[in-house]
Amino acid sequence: MADPAKTPAPRRSTAEKAAAKKAAAKRGGTRSPAAGRSGAAAKRRHPRGAPGRARTVAERLAREYPGSARDLCALRHDDPFQLLAATILSAQCTDEMVNKVTPAVFARYPTPADLAAANPVELEDLVHSTGFFRSKAKNLIGMATALEERHAGEVPTELSDLVKLPGVGRKTGNVVRSVAFGLPGLPVDTHVGRLAILLGLTDETDPVKAELALGDLVPEDERGAFSLRMILHGRAVCDARRPRCDVCLLADVCPSAFRV
């Protein structure tokens, strides 16, 4: 998945945060179900621990961003091989840009065997606009070669096999597992890691540790969609530079609301 919103937004001053909080309170709170309740009543209804908070967060995000992991994935693809290639290209690049580039890549190299035999310069040219084009082209050819040599031209389903492919880390492997195969997989990108800490679901800053911690809180069959919903919410509302707590549906359960 692509990294956070690239458009910088100025940090809000303390006065702006206070004004937003006051405005939300005046309206009866946020869009959350707790809006309008007294503080004591709200506190009684709100989960205090990470497991309960994770359930509430997952339920609300599922209502706000409905659909399966496959529905929520913005990278266009027709099969696991195409998703794997698109996810490799999405590093440090927007999903929109990847979607502009991949039709020509998939048309020119429809199978792992075709991609494994690609002319590196020609492939670099095709993926140039996604950035880091030399290393991405090298990883794509290496990935396709590994699929041919080790997996009979098929994308493996086990994370331990996926992460051995060139250009594939746990994040990419978990995207492929959850989106292409419908298997448990919780990709942790910068949005997911940041929101998990803000929401008090974990204090792990290391992506692998955060993935394991979140995996303890989210049921296996919901992990992929949960991750994608956190990414969507990070882009739409909880912007890294300017979180919009005054309109956030999680504000009443978020320990960081109006504090960031």
Complex with ligand SF4: residue 85 or 245, whichever CB lies closer: 245
Cβ closest to ligand SF4, residue 64 vs residue 161: 64
Q: At 1, list the tokens.
A: 């998945």
Q: How far is the CB of 3 from ligand SF4 (least distance, A)?
A: 17
Q: Is 203 one of the catalytic residues?
A: no
- Decide if 21 is catalytic: no
Choosing from 95, 136, 171, 252, the catalytic residue is 171
* End-to-end Cα, the chain, rounded Å: 25
> Which entry of 189, 216, 221, 239 is annotated as an active-site residue?
189
Q: Least Å distance between CB 233 and ligand SF4?
A: 7
- Measured from the CB atom, the residue of 9 and 113 that comes closer to ligand SF4 is 9
Which of 115, 201 has the CB closer to ligand SF4?
201
Tell the smallest beta-carbon distance from residue 224 to ligand SF4 (Å): 20
Binding residues for ligand SF4 (CB under 6 A): 195, 198-199, 237-238, 243-245, 248, 250-251, 254, 256-257, 260
C-alpha dihedral sign at 27, 29, 33, 38: negative
- Least distance to ligand SF4, CB of residue 251, Å: 4
Catalytic sites, residue numbers:
171, 189
